[in-house]
Amino acid sequence: MTKEELIASSEKNIVGTYRRQPVVFVRGEGAHLWDTEGKEYVDFVAGIAVCSLGHSHPRVVEAIRKQAGTLTHVSNLYYTEPQIRFAEMLVANSFADRVFFCNSGAEANEAAIKLARKYGHDNLKGRYEILTMKGSFHGRTLAAITATGQEKFHVGFSPLPEGFRYIPFNDVQCLEKAISKKTCAVLLEPIQGEGGVRVPDEGYLRAVREICDRKGILMILDEVQTGMGRTGKLFGYEHYGVTPDIMTLAKALGNGIPVGALAATEKVAASFGPGTHASTFGGNPLAMAAAIATLETILEEGFLENCRKMGEYLQERLWSLRKDHPVVQDVRGKGLLVGMDLTVEGNSIVKACLERGVLINCTFDHILRMVPPLVIARQDVDRLVQVLDEVMVR
């Protein structure tokens, strides 16, 4: 089929939930992709912060190949070694004592919401309310869109589940005031990703932790986008000198194989006893083999160092565009989660970059977001900046 035929078939047969760019990808390697016509692209999207080791990373490919030929799936009614090994790795490298596996970020957040409510039921006299942040994003299931503090995701889906309230991100006083006798948890991203790469003030997360401790409620960090090295440390919370009670992960966990996880302290995880939660595919051997290979690679010496260095270089080069392009009003982020805030809408720039073989994405209408593979090279950053220089107004 030609590209046009493929796109026409997609438009006819697939539910129209996505506004897609007119390109059909067939192959990827490292930070590069190729389309049906053999055109090469530098990928600053990485499946939206998913393919952190780059496309078709040989170690992940080999792990998947080997595991697929050995054992792909058995039920969680039984034990499997890859799941046990990956759980050990996550526990050894994070604050958490226990993990639960699922398949996506929304599912991980559903699990976190359920666990917080169950903890409230078991330990806090039935408190159930969860405070979340304006501008946040937590996924597309009914509870996850409700937790998401952006009205545009709620429209048309009423009635939404009860028990959520929204407060401004990065505002300690509002949080303090908003906690009621019903509140069992606060849910937030360490850096808001979909909300426009919003980095909180230095002391904010520490203040949230202190308030949660004082009030006896849970701090839940959604690290679906910030986790697994994206910000230059394995988890976003490591930048801020705090640990949460619950953390959710997905996206980069399997470098493209669907894997989600909830991680929690022993005390909190105790509220998820047998029969309280489950996932058919969660933690299956194939997904876990990909996750083990991915985490082993991220933990290798120099990997996160490269992410930090390239993140700094990317931010520095993007700032340099401001000289000739006054539409650039801010460049921000941590590691390789970087946003460039414009005074104009960004979609036409995304399209123009695509035509020139560079993939970027736009959030909040006017914020260009760069979340490339963490193995991105200097010359790829240079190419992005050169293309942006060409396509942005002066």
CB nearer to ligand PLP: pick between 325 and 373: 373
Nearer to ligand PLP, 112 or 207 (CB): 112
Q: Which is nearer to ligand PLP, 248 or 388 (CB)?
A: 248
Residue 323 CB, shortest distance to ligand PLP, in Å, is 32
Cβ distance to ligand PLP smaller for residue 191 or 392: 191
Is residue 341 among the annotated active site residues?
Answer: no
By beta-carbon proximity to ligand PLP, the closer residue of 109 and 297 is 109
Among 44, 100, 101, 137, the one annotated catalytic: 137
Residues 44, 86, 222, 272: which is the catalytic one? 222
In the bound state with ligand PLP, the residue whose beta carbon lies nearer, of 196 and 311, is 196
Distance of closest approach, residue 108 Cβ to ligand PLP, in angstroms: 7
Report CA-CA distances (Å) from 284 to 272, 274, 290: 19, 18, 10
Hey, what are 373's tokens? 């593979």
User: Does the protein bind ligand PLP through residue 380 (CB under 6 A)?
Assistant: no
User: Residue 391 CB, nearest distance to ligand PLP (Å)?
Assistant: 25
**Binder to ligand PLP among 110, 129, 194, 341 (CB under 6 A)?**
194
Q: Out of 43, 110, 129, 189, which residue is the one contacting ligand PLP (CB under 6 A)? A: 189
Minimum CB distance to ligand PLP, residue 40 (Å)? 26
Per CB under 6 A, which of residues 36..65 are in contact with ligand PLP? 48
Mapping DSSP onto H, E and C, the string for the chain reads CCHHHHHHHHHHHCCCCCCCCCCCEEEEEECEEEECCCCEEEECCHHHHCCCCCECCHHHHHHHHHHHCCCCCCCCCCCCHHHHHHHHHHHHCCCCCEEEEECCHHHHHHHHHHHHHHHHHHHCCCCCEEEEEECCCCCCCHHHHHHCECHHHCCCCCCCCCCEEEECCCCHHHHHHHCCCCEEEEEECCCECCCCCECCCCCHHHHHHHHHHHHCCEEEEECCCCCCCCCCCCCHHHHCCCCCCEEEECHHHHECECCEEEEECHHHHCCCCCCCCCCCCCCCHHHHHHHHHHHHHHHCCCHHHHHHHHHHHHHHHHHHHHHCCCCEEEEEEECCEEEEEECCCCHHHHHHHHHCCEECEEECCCEEEECCCCCCCHHHHHHHHHHHHHHCCC
* CA gap 332, 196 in Å, rounded: 10
Of 148 and 271, the one with the shorter C-beta distance to ligand PLP is 148
Of 102-110, 206-214, 315-323, 329-337: span binding ligand PLP (CB under 6 A): 102-110
Among residue numbers 236 through 265, which ones bind ligand PLP (CB under 6 A)? 250
Peptide bond before residue 161 is cis, with ω within 30 degrees of 0: no
Site string for ligand PLP, 129-158 (x = CB under 6 A): --------xxx-------------------
**Active site residue: 251, 272, 334, 380, which one?**
251
Q: Does 101 bind ligand PLP (CB under 6 A)?
A: no
For tokens 């958490």, the residue is 96
Among 193, 311, 346, 373, binds ligand PLP (CB under 6 A): 193
Near ligand PLP in 197-226, by CB under 6 A: 222, 224-225
**Nearest-approach distance from CB 252 to ligand PLP, in angstroms:** 11
Judge whether 222 counts as a catalytic residue.
yes
Distance set, CA 229 to CA 53, 91, 308 (Å): 10, 16, 9
Cα–Cα distance, 56 to 256 (Å, whole number): 9
Select the residue whose beta carbon is closest to ligand PLP and give its number. 105
Shorter beta-carbon distance to ligand PLP: residue 127 or 138: 138
Q: Which stretch binds ligand PLP (CB under 6 A): 99-107, 123-131, 270-278, 310-318?
A: 99-107
Query: Which residues participate in catalysis according to the annotation?
Result: 137, 222, 251
- Residue numbers of the site for ligand PLP (CB under 6 A)? 48, 104-106, 109, 137-139, 189, 193-194, 222, 224-225, 250
